């Protein structure tokens, strides 16, 4: 439990007497809030009453929100980030175990119930036995680790590793060179069209355009012997390169996983948790030879090293759109004389990965979970990715823990989770989702991701349709740091069409982080919130506290600001009388995605008409509007017949809605991905595909199957509409 001085207790007691006398803060008989003493920082009142609360309970909810916003402090966030990033701590390292102990300690002292969930997963071992070199026409070793800098006290740490890619194949190969632009499917297609043979070649590709694993997958399929990837520079950032500025320099190396399997999580245990050897539970693991892992060696380099190769290439000039930011002509082939060697020794073995989950139990519905999470494993120090989010979640945990012990206990359980082994392929969180899939599908209210969540001043969010309104409303209740406006106001003001838009842009969730298991596999409404800024040190050894305190947030105010937004969101989801899902947006978003897909097909000369889907979406909007009217009427009616049992049943019905968009057979060639609404792009990995079952048929040109998949969608939307109509009936049927 957190310790508070006697003066705090006295203040709380005095205010509690006032609360009992006035009854203005009587949220629920079982949970009477007793305010905490004020902390520095401005708190903004909500612009409108929070959705989902009975009129009689709004004042108490807003008071709890006001209290929790007083708690997150810059010095608190700063200390957490400093402690977590003191040493490099990738998964499998002793330092990562120490970070895990720190997370446990902080959350336990904050009063949370903390559990550790360990799994034995198949991972690359921590070795940097890798190298790259030009062999001919002259021998030249290529730099593959960022040099130590006098301005960066962390950059010479002895435990930092060379640049490497997780799930590279092991090998030692030498070959001629082919430049493949971004290494996209269409890029390799162009090379084949112009007669460039990749057999036995070393592919050089620049980052961007797709997930790095697909650069390797397509290269290997074309017969390449190895792959080198590099960050192409932006000439406009020439005077902002690290350490003078925040952007990458010529030595900055982007590490990252290249795992490309049709499932997420442990490569050897799809659909099932990878229990540890000492758990006493039986695990059926695939043999690694049964898994489609890459066999060719892969290495990332900085653009300085990559330029040594590119400037020696003698083949035809690449297309204009393939030209990059280096002051040279990018060419398709290197010629007969230029050869490059890539050597990777990457052993793989079962490795212990540990998730750490803290819980504030709900006093009324402890089995209903609102989950906030971020991974805590980096490639090096990870001040931005991921531990800005980790430090924010700890700050939030301390605030909610202190609030809970002072009377504002949540009705539903709030969980704060720290996932391991995300960087190797979204592994730790997926194992937890697979372990608790039944519970999540029955009782999870929402999952909110915080990967790399704090690196600057600009708030942004992506979410499932049902969470968009709750997120918007939470930002309306929180003040933006050091300004006389809300986070929402700052967010809206940055929108390109701020004068013409009614709300700021809310993106759609794609791939690449820990929401994937919750959202696309288990059907849990999910979102991702963050405060971002300039960041040119992604996955490099320069992503550390020295960079962060100079270029991320020198005053450490944005982490606490995001903690306030997420704490308000947590309390609203936890305490709402009726879950405040944005049901109308299901229909409006589905209809827009159908229109977008028709336009995409038309741009490719394809005739795709989704009239039935759009009609179903329009009917869904009507059903949702009826529900909203009935909900608002019931919540505003002081004499509403909504008893505890009726509300409990109604909320259980609402919890089931997102799961109605799951397809138990999964998507084409990807049975693990089951959401019909959204999935990662199977050809790029990162981008979000909306209506992915239909999008796949358009992408591969199988238009004859579009009607079949449209039927699947119409049936799913009908289930969703029926669920909303049943919920409306509960609200409008008198209780006898």
Residues involved in catalysis: 422
The Cα-based distances of 354 to 121, 288, 375, 422, 497 in angstroms read 10, 22, 11, 11, 44
Lay out the sheet containing 130-136: strands in order across.
Answer: 140-141, 130-136, 339-344, 171-175
CA distance 77 to 394: 8
CA distance 525 to 462: 11
Peptide bond before residue 137 is cis, with ω within 30 degrees of 0: yes
Task: Name the phi and psi angles at 252, rounded to 5.
Answer: -70, 130
CA distance 14 to 35: 9
DSSP string, 388-419: HHHHHHHHHHHHHHHHHHTT---SEEEEEEEE
The sign of the torsion formed by the CA atoms of 541, 543, 548, 550 equals: positive
Q: What angle do CA 687, 688, 692 make, to 5 degrees?
A: 125
CA distance 449 to 515: 6
For the beta carbon of residue 51, count every other beta carbon within 10 angstroms. 20
CB 722 within 8 A of CB 736: no
Q: Write down the H helix ranges in 85-131.
A: 94-109
CA distance 596 to 476: 30
Task: Name which of 510, 514, 389, 531 is nearest 460 in CA terms.
Answer: 531
Strands 365-375 and 412-419: what pairing? parallel
CA distance 553 to 558: 7
The Cα-based distances of 571 to 35, 254, 526 in angstroms read 15, 37, 16
* Non-local CB neighbours of 75 within 8 Å, separated by 6+ positions: 556
Give kind and range of the element (H or E) at residue 588.
helix 584-603
CB 360 within 8 A of CB 414: yes
* Non-local CB neighbours of 315 within 8 Å, separated by 6+ positions: 331, 332, 333, 334, 335
CA distance 307 to 313: 10
Task: Name which of 231, 401, 221, 400 is nearest 302 in CA terms.
Answer: 231
Task: Name the phi and psi angles at 722, rounded to 5.
Answer: -60, -40
Task: Name the phi and psi angles at 173, rounded to 5.
Answer: -130, 150
Lay out the sheet containing 444-449: strands in order across.
Answer: 113-124, 348-360, 412-419, 365-375, 444-449, 526-532, 458-463
First and final C-alpha spacing in the chain = 45
CA distance 243 to 106: 33
């Amino acid at each position: 439990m957190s310790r508070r001085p006697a003066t705090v207790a006295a203040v709380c007691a005095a205010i509690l007497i006032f609360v009992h006398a006035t009854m203005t803060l009587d949220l629920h008989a079982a949970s009477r809030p007793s305010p905490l003493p004020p902390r520095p920082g401005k708190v903004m009142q909500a612009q409108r009453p929070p959705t989902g609360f009975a009129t009689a309970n709004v004042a108490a909810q807003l008071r709890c929100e006001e209290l929790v916003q007083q708690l997150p402090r810059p010095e608190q966030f700063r200390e957490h980030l400093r402690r977590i990033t003191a040493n490099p701590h990738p998964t499998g390292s002793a330092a990562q175990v120490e970070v895990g102990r720190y997370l446990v300690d902080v959350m336990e002292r904050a009063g949370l119930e903390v559990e550790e969930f360990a799994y034995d997963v198949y991972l690359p071992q921590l070795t940097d036995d890798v190298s790259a070199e030009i062999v001919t026409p002259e021998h030249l070793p290529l730099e593959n680790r960022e040099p130590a800098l006098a301005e960066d006290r962390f950059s010479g740490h002895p435990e930092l590793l060379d640049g490497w890619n997780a799930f590279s194949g092991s090998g030692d190969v030498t070959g001629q060179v082919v430049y493949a632009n971004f290494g996209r499917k269409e890029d390799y297609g162009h090379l084949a069209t112009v007669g460039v043979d990749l057999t036995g070649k070393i592919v050089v590709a620049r980052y961007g355009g797709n997930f790095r694993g697909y650069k390797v997958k397509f290269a290997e399929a074309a017969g390449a012997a190895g792959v080198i990837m590099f960050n192409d520079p932006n000439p406009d950032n020439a005077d902002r390169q690290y350490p003078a500025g925040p952007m990458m320099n010529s030595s900055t190396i982007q590490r990252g996983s290249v795992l490309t399997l049709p499932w997420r999580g442990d490569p050897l245990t799809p659909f099932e948790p990878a229990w540890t050897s000492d758990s006493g539970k039986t695990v059926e693991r695939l043999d690694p030879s049964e898994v489609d892992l890459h066999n060719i060696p892969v290495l990332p380099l900085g653009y300085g090293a990559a330029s040594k190769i590119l400037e020696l290439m003698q083949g035809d000039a690449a297309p204009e759109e393939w030209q990059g930011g280096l002051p040279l002509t990018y060419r398709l082939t290197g010629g007969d004389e230029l050869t490059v060697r890539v050597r990777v020794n990457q052993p793989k073995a079962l490795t212990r990965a540990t998730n750490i989950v803290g819980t504030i139990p709900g006093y009324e519905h402890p089995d209903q979970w609102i989950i906030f999470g971020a991974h805590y494993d980096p490639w090096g120090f990870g001040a931005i990715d991921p531990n800005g989010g980790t430090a924010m979640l700890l700050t939030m945990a301390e605030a909610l823990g202190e609030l809970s012990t002072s009377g504002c206990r949540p009705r539903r359980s709030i969980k704060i989770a720290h996932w391991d082994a995300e960087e190797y392929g979204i592994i730790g969180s997926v194992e937890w989702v697979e372990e608790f899939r039944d519970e999540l599908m029955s009782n999870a209210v929402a999952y909110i991701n915080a990967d790399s969540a704090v690196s600057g001043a600009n708030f942004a969010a992506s979410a499932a349709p049902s969470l968009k309104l709750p997120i918007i409303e939470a930002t309306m209740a929180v003040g933006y740091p050091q300004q006389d406006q809300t986070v929402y106001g700052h967010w809206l003001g940055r929108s390109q069409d701020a004068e013409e838009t009614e709300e700021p842009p809310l993106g759609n969730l794609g791939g690449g982080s820990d929401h994937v298991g919750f959202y696309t596999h288990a059907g849990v409404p999910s979102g991702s919130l963050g405060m971002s800024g300039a960041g040119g040190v992604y996955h490099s050894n320069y992503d550390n506290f020295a960079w962060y305190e100079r270029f991320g947030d020198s005053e450490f105010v944005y982490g606490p600001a995001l903690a306030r937004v997420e704490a308000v969101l947590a309390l609203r989801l936890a305490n709402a009388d009726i879950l405040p899902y944005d049901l109308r947006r299901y229909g409006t978003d589905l209809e827009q995605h159908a229109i977008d897909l028709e336009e995409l097909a038309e741009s490719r000369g394809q005739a795709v008409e989704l009239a039935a889907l759009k009609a179903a979406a329009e009917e869904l909007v009507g059903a949702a509007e009826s529900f909203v009217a009935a909900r608002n009427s019931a919540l505003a009616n002081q004499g509403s017949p909504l008893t505890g049992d009726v509300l409990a049943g109604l909320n259980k019905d609402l919890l089931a809605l997102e799961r109605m968009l799951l397809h138990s057979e999964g998507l084409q060639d990807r049975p693990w991905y089951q959401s019909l609404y959204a999935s990662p792009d199977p050809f790029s990995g990162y981008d979000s595909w909306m209506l992915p079952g239909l999008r796949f048929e358009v992408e591969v040109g199988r238009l004859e199957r579009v009607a079949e998949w449209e039927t699947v969608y119409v049936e799913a939307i009908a289930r969703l509409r029926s669920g909303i109509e049943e919920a409306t009936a509960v609200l409008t049927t008198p209780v006898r």
